[in-house]
A = this chain, B = another copy of it.
C-alpha cells in the first residue's frame, strides 16, 4: 500500500467541534495519530466553542487549591489541563496529544485533514469563518449525522462543507452511540470517501473529471435537483501520503471502533437521516403493545424505503448494499430502533396517549426529535415530487404526526 510508504511530510489533523460525539471522535483520532507516526503528526487540534465551566466539588478533578477550581474557567483550559471534556464527555480521559483550541481559525491552520463534528445549524457559519484560511489541498470528513432535506432537494452536509471550503469532504456514520464509543465498548462505523481521481487509486465511475492540470482537478457533480456543478479541487502535494481509504482507516479504526471504508457518500449520509423516521414508527408500534414481530416488520419496510429513496433520488451514485451491508445502514437502523431517543419518545407518546410535542416538552425540554423533523421535511419533498404513495411508511409517519391518521392504521396503510 503506497500510502504507508515513506513520505516527506505528514498529515496534520484538526477536529472541528467538541460535543459528546465530537470529543469521542477526537479521542479516537488522537489515539491513531499517536500510533501511526509515519502518516500523521502526533498533535491533534480540537476546536472548542469557548464557554465558562465550573468543576463540580464532587468531580475527581476538584482540588480546592488549584487555580482551575476557583470559580468558572475556560472549557479549553480545563480540557488541556485535566484531559477531560468535563462538560460534554465527563468521565472519559482524553489523550494528551489532543489540544483544545478556542479559535477555529487557529485550530485548522496547517491541517491537511479536517474532521467536522458540529450541530448542523452551525455548519455554514463555521465553514464561512475558516474559508480561505485552510490549507487549499486539505481533505475533510464530516461526522455530522443525516442530510439536509427541503422541498427542492436533498443535500449532503459533506457536500455543503466541500462547496464552501473548496475541498473534497467525505462522511462517517454508523451505529454509534457516542457515550458507548467513548467508553471503548466495541462498535463499528462506515466512512464514505470518493474523491476525484487525483487522490484516489481507483477512480469512481460516478465522477467525470473533465480536465486536470498539475495540481487542479475539475470534476462535475450533479446534485439531486439535477443541478450540475463544476468543482475545482487542488491536488495534494506528492510529499504527503495520499488521502485514500487506507489512510482514513488508519485515522479512525481502533480495536474497539471498527471501520469499513466505502465510496458511497450519499448512501452513508442518507441512512443516518431516514433511520430516525423509521425509529419513530417502531416506537409507536411497540408503544401499542404489538410486540417484536410488529417492530421487526416496521424496520423491514423502513429499510426497503431507505433503499428505494436512495435509488430514486440519488440514482447511480448510490449503492443498495450500503443500506443492507454497512454499519451506516442496517446497523444504525437497528441501534436507533433499540433505544434511541426517537424510538423512546414515540413509544412514550402512545403509552401516555400524548402527542409527540407533549413528550418532547416533558422528556426533551421542548427540543424537537430529529425523526419528526426529518419526517416533515421528507414529506414536503416527496409531495413536491408527487411520490408520497411510493413511500407508504415515510408518509404514514408524517400523517400520524399531523393527525391525518392513527397508529392503528399503519399496517393497512403500508400493505401494498
Question: Which A residues contact B (CB, under 8 angstroms)?
Answer: 175-177, 180-181, 185-188, 255-256, 258, 285, 289-297, 299-300, 303-304, 324-327, 330-332, 334-335, 338-339, 411-412, 415
Across the interface, name the chain B residue whose C-beta is closest to A297: B188
Q: List 17 A-B contacts (CB under 8 A).
A: A180-B290, A180-B292, A180-B293, A180-B294, A185-B289, A188-B300, A256-B411, A258-B415, A292-B338, A295-B334, A295-B335, A297-B331, A299-B330, A299-B334, A300-B327, A300-B330, A303-B330
Interface centre among A256, A295, A331, A415 (most CB of B within 10 A): A331
Other contacts beyond A175-B297, A187-B294: 14, CB < 8 A: A175-B292, A177-B293, A180-B290, A180-B293, A185-B293, A185-B294, A186-B285, A255-B412, A295-B334, A296-B334, A300-B325, A300-B327, A303-B324, A324-B330
Q: Closest B-chain residue to A174, C-beta based?
A: B293
Contacts of A338 in B (CB 8 A): 292, 295-296
Chain B residues with CB under 8 A of A325 = 300, 303-304
Partner of A297, one of B295, B299, B327, B412: B327
Question: Whose C-beta in chain B lies nearest to the C-beta of A294?
Answer: B186
Q: Report yes or no: B186 in contact with A339, Cβ–Cβ below 8 A.
A: no
* Residues of the B chain whose Cβ atoms lie less than 8 Å from the Cβ of A186: 285, 290, 293-294, 297, 411
Beta-carbon nearest neighbor of A300 in chain B: B331
Q: Answer whether A330 and B331 are a contact pair too, CB < 8 Å, given A185-B294, A293-B188, A297-B188.
A: no
* Shortest beta-carbon distance from A56 to chain B in Å: 26
Identify A291's interface contact among B185, B188, B295, CB under 8 A. Answer: B185
| A181:B293 contact, CB within 8 angstroms | yes
Query: In the complex, which residues of chain B have a beta carbon less than 8 angstroms from the beta carbon of A411?
Result: 186, 255-256, 258
Residue of B nearest to A340 (CB): B292
Q: How far is the CA of A185 from the CA of B415 in the complex (A)?
A: 15
Most chain B CB inside 10 Å of its own CB: which residue of A185, A293, A339: A293
The 8 closest A-B pairs by CB, nearest first: A187-B293, A296-B331, A175-B296, A324-B324, A300-B331, A296-B334, A188-B297, A296-B335
Complex alpha-carbon distance, A303 and B187, angstroms: 16
Given A186-B411, A324-B303, A411-B186, answer yes or no on A293-B175 (Cβ-Cβ < 8 Å): yes
In the assembled complex, which residues on chain B have CB atoms less than 8 Å from the CB atom of A290? 180, 185-186
CB closest chain-B residue, reference A187: B293
Are B339 and A296 neighbours in the complex by a CB distance under 8 Å?
Answer: no
A303-B324, A325-B300, A330-B303 given; A293·B335 CB < 8 A = yes
Q: Is the CB of A176 within 8 A of B327?
A: no
Do A292 and B335 have beta carbons less than 8 Å apart?
yes
Name the CB-closest residue of B to A293: B187
Question: How many Å lie between the Cα of A335 and that of B297 in the bound state?
Answer: 9
Scoring A185, A187, A291 by chain B CB atoms within 10 A of each residue's CB, the highest score goes to A291
